Amino acid sequence: MTRKRSPISQISRLAHRASGTAAANRMVPEETPVAFSFAGTTHAVMMASPADFEDFALGFSLTEGIIAKPEEIEAIEVEDHGAGIDIQIRLKDTANTRFEARRRRLAGPVGCGLCGIESIEEAMRSVDAVGASKLTLDAEDIVRSVKLLSKVQPLHTETGAVHAAGFYVPGKGIVMAREDVGRHNALDKLAGALAEAGIEGSAGAVVVTSRVSVEMVQKTAAIGSAFIIAVSAPTALAIRTAEEAGMTLVALVRGDDFDVFTNPHRVVLGVAQHVA
């Protein structure tokens, strides 16, 4: 059974300000457990905003390497169980066989001393190479992408408490965006929406409102984009992984200022000056 869930709720709180204290209402984001089940078995559970479930399922399956293309999914069914959402994903034969082999390898026998090593290798899986991309952006593109993303965040506008991931195409602006309480979830939802719309990741840049962790780089590479642009800082591992993938990582976009951490040849800039 499925029902429409609102991603935001109105609550009453006590607001203290310099001018005084009073009871007032505020909009806050909802978060709910969302389980991804393949062949009837739960593979992962995420705390997420209850919206865009089909995008989430498709994007998660793609960015986690469970499928190589959308056509490998036979059906997606969203089941609302009250306490949470169970997304049942049926894979076609070849993809299902590949997934079952992967699950058996990671599960291992009880007390297996190598299972931890295999799980670590899975977390640190090789990132898709995007270094062949010819896409370039100038400083105006980078600044504009973040400004435009801020205009297509209705949940954040109401709550101030959700992340967004958008896809910027030069000359077109933000062509797709998704929001979620989780930054990884927002990016997965964006990946699914892009795949469903048939938009190639190589055509533009992923823009996020969060810091850049290694998973964000891995997922951006899985989308096929050679650019990730973020308002916050990257981790050292994210920088190394972006370099390995041939990806251009731009972060700390604040107004007209930003830092390019990897593969700066894709960013067209003016005359270089010394910056501390």
C-alpha to C-alpha distance for 170 and 42, rounded to whole angstroms: 39
Given a contact cutoff of 8 angstroms between Cβ atoms, the answer to whether 17 and 32 are in contact is no
Structure tokens at 48: 């997420």
Side-chain-side CA neighbours of residue 88 (13 Å): 10
Active-site residue, from 112, 114, 268, 269? 112
Active site residue 112: yes
Q: Which amino acid, 232?
A: S
Structure tokens at 101: 């082999």
Residue 36, class by beta-carbon neighbours within 10 Å (0-12 exposed, 13-18 middle, 19+ buried)? Answer: buried
Structure tokens at 31: 């978060």
Residues 6+ apart with CB under 8 A from 184: 46, 215, 216, 219
Using DSSP bridges, classify how beta strands 85-91 and 32-38 pair: parallel, antiparallel or unpaired. parallel
Does residue 39 come out as left (phi exceeding 0), alpha (psi in the -120 to 50 range) or beta?
left
Q: Which residues pair with 254 in a beta bridge?
A: 257
Give CA separation, 226 vs 46, 179, 192, 201, in Å. 27, 21, 18, 8
H helix intervals, the chain: 53-63, 93-107, 115-123, 139-150, 154-159, 183-197, 214-223, 236-245
Point out the residues that are catalytic. Answer: 112
